[in-house]
Amino acid sequence: MGLLFRLAELLLVLVPLIGVGYATFRAIAAARGRPADELPTAAPPSSDAAPRRAIIRAIEEHDRTDTRWLEYELDVAKLLDYPLMTDMRDPRTERFHRAKLRADFFRPAGVADLVNDRDATRDYLDAVQEYVTAFDVAEAEAIRRRRTGFSDEEQERLARAQRLLRVSADSAATPQERERAYRLVRRELDGLIVLPERARAALERGISGELGS
């Protein structure tokens, strides 16, 4: 009788274990027989993450360099201190302006416009790198040389233009005096350096809102 009780207790322990083992065996067997497209798979890593980051960095660098150039475009006094920045006779200046045009040409409206186009992405990244490098070189040379690349007569004209520029921006002067000073500034600079369109427009707005050309 005692033997029967012990066998019953052993069955009570073994039966649940056998059930678990059998269920595990069935699950493994089912998984092995399941088609590959039914098996769970890990999501593939995004293939455009690296190009997207590179494009974003290039756009930011493009914007920073544009902002640096804008300081010259809007500040005629600064431009007269460093006139080489618009002197196309210097190859460094010409290279910078050409590089800016190229970077602007390849610039996308948004990151999505380039992220799946490897060639267009490479063109833009290269153009921005050239733009930044060319600007750094041109600005460094302009700061180093200031007006020394101009003859004595040309330097005198730049100095007169700078004095007249102060008059044209002087709110204490009459509108007629400011307009006359502005016209003399343009005459002194004619054939010497080129004022960017934005610089001329900002100067004219600062004088009297609208001046005749």
State which residues form the domain around 114.
48-149
Residue 183 scores a pLDDT above 80: yes
Per-residue pLDDT, 35: 52
- Where a domain ends, among 109, 132, 149? 149
The answer as to whether 28 is a domain residue is no
Average pLDDT, the chain: 79
The answer as to whether 65 is a domain residue is yes
**What single letter denotes the amino acid at residue 186?**
R
Least Cα distance to 55 among 146, 147, 130, 123 occurs for: 123
The answer as to whether 195 is a domain residue is yes
Same domain, 192 and 137: no
Residue 71 scores a pLDDT above 70: yes
Report the number of distinct structural domains present in the chain: 2
Same domain, 138 and 163: no
**Which residue in this structure is represented by tokens 């400011």?**
178
Predicted confidence (pLDDT) per residue in 122-179, tens digit: 999 999 999 999 999 999 999 999 988 888 898 899 899 989 888 887 878 888 888 8
Report residue 28's pLDDT band, with 50, 70 and 90 as the boundaries: low
Least Cα distance to 207 among 189, 181, 184 occurs for: 181
For residues 87 and 149, the answer to whether their CB atoms sit within 8 Å is yes
Least Cα distance to 83 among 160, 164, 140, 143 occurs for: 143
